[in-house]
Amino acid sequence: MKIILLQDIESLGHAGEMVEARDGYFRNYLSPRKLAVLSTEGGLRFLEARKKQALVQSQHKKESALELAAQLEKTPCVIKAKVGQEGKLFGSVTTHDIHGELEKRGITIERKRIEMAPIHQVGDYHAKIKLHPEVDVLLKVSVKA
């Protein structure tokens, strides 16, 4: 039976692909969970409408990510930490600390989107923030005593 996948399924393929599947698998598993539709005229039209809707949503998310990236480039992140001899920190500055500092300034970003190694010394660093698959921004992080 030819079907159109609505979501990625590891054993079959990716969303939007037309694949061959067994009747029972489609009727009992894929269809009730809305993971696939039959490859009919209506199913193809539904898939095209869904692709257009996904494209519009993706464009909207990208535009909002670009706005947030511009805001982040203007906002340097200053983190104060306890320092021992020779500028070494007691502990380290991590993505958790940067996330907290951004939250204080009213910028909401998921912590897992911030990429950087833990910081152990005073100085200026950069943290990469992935806002969208096509939009990355480097946030300037200053660690001070």
Q: Which two tokens stand for residue 79?
A: 């983190």
Encode pLDDT of 2-60 as tens digits. Answer: 998 888 888 888 888 889 999 999 999 999 999 988 888 887 787 788 788 878 888 99
Per DSSP bridges, beta strands 18-20 and 135-144 are: unpaired
Domain boundary assignment for the chain: 2-63, 74-144
Q: For residue 124, which of 141, 101, 139, 99 has the smallest C-alpha distance?
A: 141
Which residues make Cβ contacts (< 8 Å) with residue 108, sequence separation at least 6? 102
Strands 2-5 and 36-38: antiparallel
| CATH 3.40.5.10 fits domain 2-63 | yes
Domain 74-144 class in CATH? alpha beta
Distance between CA atoms of residues 45 and 67, nearest Å: 34
pLDDT tens per residue across span 48-105: 887 888 788 889 989 999 999 999 888 888 999 888 877 788 888 999 999 999 999 8
Please give the structure tokens belonging to residue 33.
Answer: 């969970």
